[in-house]
């Protein structure tokens, strides 16, 4: 077959559509799982919103030099995943821009402002605090 490949812009547009759709489906599934956990919790005589969960986290790298981590909460009664959190202390775009900072500070500041919404860094501080801050954030949900 002599098929031409996708243009890079078309590829990224398709990728964005897949990401948005998968994220929407994920949110619906998580909301349903939380509702099921609350209903089962209430049926056992406990307060509806006072659910018991089990949590676990994993990292891309062992030790306290990690850049990425994932944590998951599982409901005690339904045994379903109720929440997941991905923590990152690294962003490739920020890394590239930091290298350019010395050459063109004005361009760096302009790119930095437009990049803030898309930045993948959502954890600051030492790596050992990543799991703790993830647990605190999830308790507030």
pLDDT in tens, 84-110: 888 777 777 777 776 666 666 666 666
Question: What SS3 state is found at 55?
Answer: strand
Residue 6 dihedral angles phi and psi, to the nearest 5°: -80, 145
CB atoms within 10 A of CB 90: 13
pLDDT over threshold 80, residue 26: yes
What integer pLDDT is reported at residue 136 of this predicted model?
43
- Range list of β-strands (E), 12-140: 53-59, 68-75, 81-88
What integer pLDDT is reported at residue 101 of this predicted model?
62
CA dist 21 and 40 (Å) reads: 29
> Distances in Å between the alpha carbon of 106 and those of 94, 98, 102?
15, 12, 10
> Mean pLDDT throughout 65-69?
71
CA dist 55 and 113 (Å) reads: 35
Place of tokens 């002599």: 2
pTM over 0.85: no
CA dist 66 and 86 (Å) reads: 12
Strand partners, 125: none
What integer pLDDT is reported at residue 127 of this predicted model?
57
The residue among 79 and 60 whose pLDDT is bigger is: 79
Place of tokens 């993830």: 134
Whole-number average pLDDT of the chain: 78
Helices (H) and strands (E) in the chain, counts: 4, 3
What integer pLDDT is reported at residue 18 of this predicted model?
97
């Amino acid at each position: 077959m002599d098929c031409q490949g996708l243009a890079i812009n078309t590829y990224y547009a398709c990728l964005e559509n897949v990401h948005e759709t998968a994220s929407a489906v994920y949110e619906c599934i998580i909301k349903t799982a939380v509702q099921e956990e609350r209903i089962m919790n209430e049926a056992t005589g406990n307060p509806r919103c006072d659910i018991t969960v089990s949590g676990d986290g994993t990292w891309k790298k062992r030790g306290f030099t990690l850049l990425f981590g994932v944590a998951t909460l599982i409901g005690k009664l339904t045994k379903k995943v109720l929440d997941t959190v991905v923590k990152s202390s690294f962003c490739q775009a920020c890394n590239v821009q930091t290298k350019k900072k010395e050459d063109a500070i004005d361009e760096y500041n302009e790119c930095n402002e437009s990049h803030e919404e898309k930045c993948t860094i959502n954890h600051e501080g030492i790596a050992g605090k990543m799991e703790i801050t993830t647990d605190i954030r999830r308790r507030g949900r």
